[in-house]
Amino acid sequence: MIRERIGRAMLRVYSDDVRAARGEEMLGTLLEAGEASARAFARESGSILLAGLRERAMLVARTGSRRLIADAYCQAAPIWLLFGAANFAAAEQRRPWAANADVLSLIVLGALLLAALVGYDRIVGVTGMSLIVGLGLVIEPHAATRVLTLAILLVPLACCVVMAFAPRKGPPNPRRLVLLVPAVALVLLLPEAVVRGTALLVLVSLLGVIRLPIDPRLAIACAIVWSGLGLSDVAVALSRADASSGWILATAASLVMFTIATTRLHYMQRKHQT
Amino acid sequence: MIDGPLHGYAIVRRAAELSDGRVRLSTGTLYALLDRALAESLVLAGDPYVEAGRQRRDYTLTPAGRLVLAQEAERLARAAKTVSGRLRATTDVAVA
């Protein structure tokens, strides 16, 4: 019974289509092939895991580059919102709620984050575009700060446009909300001196690098967020004429992630074609 | 599958029997290979059925699969013959 559970857990690596078509059959073969000993079962389970990862990588390689980049933009939106929510929450924590708490902004940010995580791409895209254009650009009174706002919001706006016009395929998945648990835990556990949003982004980028062999989309999504941060840091540095080096780090992180993710993607696509 | 349809685990057992235990197909590799063979219409998958409480499906070699297998066996035999011939020739030279 335990072996059956382990086998089922291993089979989850495969895509839903493969599991529906022959998951039970594969489980039967796995249990029979591994019934001689615990070592044989471990070996068979490992082979299922590796083959499932290879199958996932092949599915990604089969997908066109445009779709993959669009998916990465859609994935970048919840990362960006998570980054924003973490920094926003940390800033709010530092001042008394009764004094100046922007509850409405936090609710809108939170709702967009939840919807983006679940996969309601069109809703998030259209809402995000309206908010960015409406609040960020039209209502912004000063021409000088409008350019700064535009630079800060350019990449999030691009994410929203892609989400609205080229949303991810597949049904919304509420199970993705589980990802919030480690994110919230990290935000709560980190000392106040650490910039929460950046720490989260570094962690998600590491996950993106770990996922690279199977799926480079998360790494590309992180590169998009890093490039947006670099751009906004440049704009802030220019507007204040200070010598902040934050943009150098963010741009370097973006370039490194873009390079390794696209190199991996090209390699996967070439390997699939041969 | 040359002798007739076989289910997944039977293929694993047959490969081990025919190779005196040298070929040990793992479950993951088996289904990856079957997927490729199915995609190239070299193998045909039957309907699923339950035997001894486990779901199975028999796989049959198609005429195209049999042809590819025959060609591959011939290619390997030719390669083996060439290597054996070269080995014999160089052994004769070395002995002389």
Tens-place pLDDT, residues A201-228: 888 999 999 999 889 999 999 999 999 8
Helix (H, G, I), strand (E, B) or coil at A270: helix
B8 contacts on A by Cβ (under 8 Å): 25-26, 28-29
DSSP annotation of A221 reads H
DSSP annotation of A274 reads -
Q: Distance (Å, rounded) from C-alpha B71 to C-alpha A53?
A: 32
Last residue within a domain, chosen from A61, A91, A112: A61
Chain A residues in contact with chain B using a Cβ-Cβ cutoff of 8 Å: 22, 24-34, 43-44, 46-52, 54-55
DSSP annotation of A212 reads T
| Residue A71 and residue A57 share a domain | no
User: Is the Cβ–Cβ distance between A230 and A251 less than 8 Å?
Assistant: yes
Query: Do B31 and A43 make contact, defined as CB atoms within 8 angstroms?
Result: no
In total, chain A counts a number of residues equal to 274
Tens-place pLDDT, residues A151-172: 788 889 999 999 999 999 888 9
Query: Do A44 and B26 make contact, defined as CB atoms within 8 angstroms?
Result: yes
- Closest by alpha carbon to B29, among A44, A23, A57? A44
Extents of the domains making up chain B: 1-61, 63-96
* CATH level 2 (architecture), domain B1-61: Orthogonal Bundle (1.10)
pTM over 0.80: no
| Residue A189 and residue A137 share a domain | yes
| Residue A196 and residue A76 share a domain | yes
Tens-place pLDDT, residues A229-244: 888 888 777 777 665 6
pLDDT tops 70 at residue A175? yes
Q: Could you identify the residue written with the tokens 């704009």? A: A235
Tokens of A75: 């994935």
Tens-place pLDDT, residues A24-42: 999 999 998 888 888 989 9
Query: Do A32 and B9 make contact, defined as CB atoms within 8 angstroms?
Result: yes
Helix (H) or strand (E) holding B12: helix B8-18
Mention every residue, 6+ apart, whose C-beta is less than 8 A from residue A205. Answer: A219, A222, A226, A253, A257
Q: How many domains does chain A have?
A: 2
| Residue A47 and residue A119 share a domain | no
Give A270→chain B minimum CA distance, Å. Answer: 18
Mean pLDDT, chain A, whole residue set: 85
- What is the mean predicted confidence (pLDDT) over A238-258? 77
CA distances from A222 to A91, A202, A203, A207 (A): 23, 9, 10, 10
| Residue A82 and residue A94 share a domain | yes
Give A24→chain B minimum CA distance, Å. Answer: 6
Query: Do A29 and B26 make contact, defined as CB atoms within 8 angstroms?
Result: no
Last residue within a domain, chosen from A11, A45, A61: A61
| Residue A124 and residue A54 share a domain | no
| Residue A221 and residue A184 share a domain | yes
Report the alpha-carbon angle A71-A168-A232, nearest 5: 45
| Residue A122 and residue A71 share a domain | yes
CA distances from A243 to A149, A240, A254 (A): 19, 9, 20
In total, chain B counts a number of residues equal to 96
What interface predicted TM-score (ipTM) does this complex get? 0.82
SS3 percent helix, strand, coil of chain A, rounded to 5, is 85, 0, 15
User: Whole domain around residue A187: which residue ranges?
Assistant: 64-273
Query: Do B26 and A32 make contact, defined as CB atoms within 8 angstroms?
Result: no
Q: Distance (Å, rounded) from C-alpha A236 to C-alpha A145?
A: 10
| Residue A77 and residue A45 share a domain | no
- Residue A98: pLDDT band (50, 70, 90) is very low
| Residue A138 and residue A82 share a domain | yes
CA distances from A79 to A27, A82, A198, A210 (A): 36, 5, 11, 16
Q: Distance (Å, rounded) from C-alpha B1 to C-alpha B25?
A: 14
- Closest by alpha carbon to A14, among A41, A40, A51, A42? A51
